Amino acid sequence: MSEELTIRREDDGGSKGRYVIALPDGDEAELTYSRANANLLIADHTGVPKAHGGKGIAGMLVRRLVEDARKEGVKIVPLCPYVKAWFERHPDWQDVQNGR
């Protein structure tokens, strides 16, 4: 299922943004972030509706966050426990983790 889904990024141009996947049943999965400054994002929440849990959807959101951070040259503070767990499992992401 996760291969058919599209991730959309919404950024208010200021301090808030999110990555969103519109799910086939009308629900949404999201990863929200706050922009601390031009070079630092704080990943603060990841949410996937229970009916869609265990399908790799949240992981898709985290990987997209990391891809975009690399492209944009920004660092990430993984405040969200889910995002933090992914960073702990991926030492190759240290280049975008703040404080590493």
- Domain boundaries defined on the chain: 2-96
4 by DSSP, 3-state: which? Answer: helix
pLDDT tens column, 16-58: 999 999 999 999 999 999 999 999 999 999 999 999 999 999 9
CATH of 2-96, one of 3.40.630.30, 3.30.70.1230, 3.90.420.10, 1.10.1270.20: 3.40.630.30
Residue 54: predicted pLDDT: 94
Element containing residue 64 per DSSP (H, E): helix 57-72
Higher pLDDT, 1 or 78: 78
97 residue type, one letter: Q
| Cβ pair 45, 31 in contact under 8 A | yes
Q: Tell me the pLDDT tens digit for each residue of 65-76.
A: 999 999 999 999
> CA-CA distance, 23 to 55, in Å (whole number)?
12
Angle at 87 between CA 96 and CA 24, to 5 degrees: 100
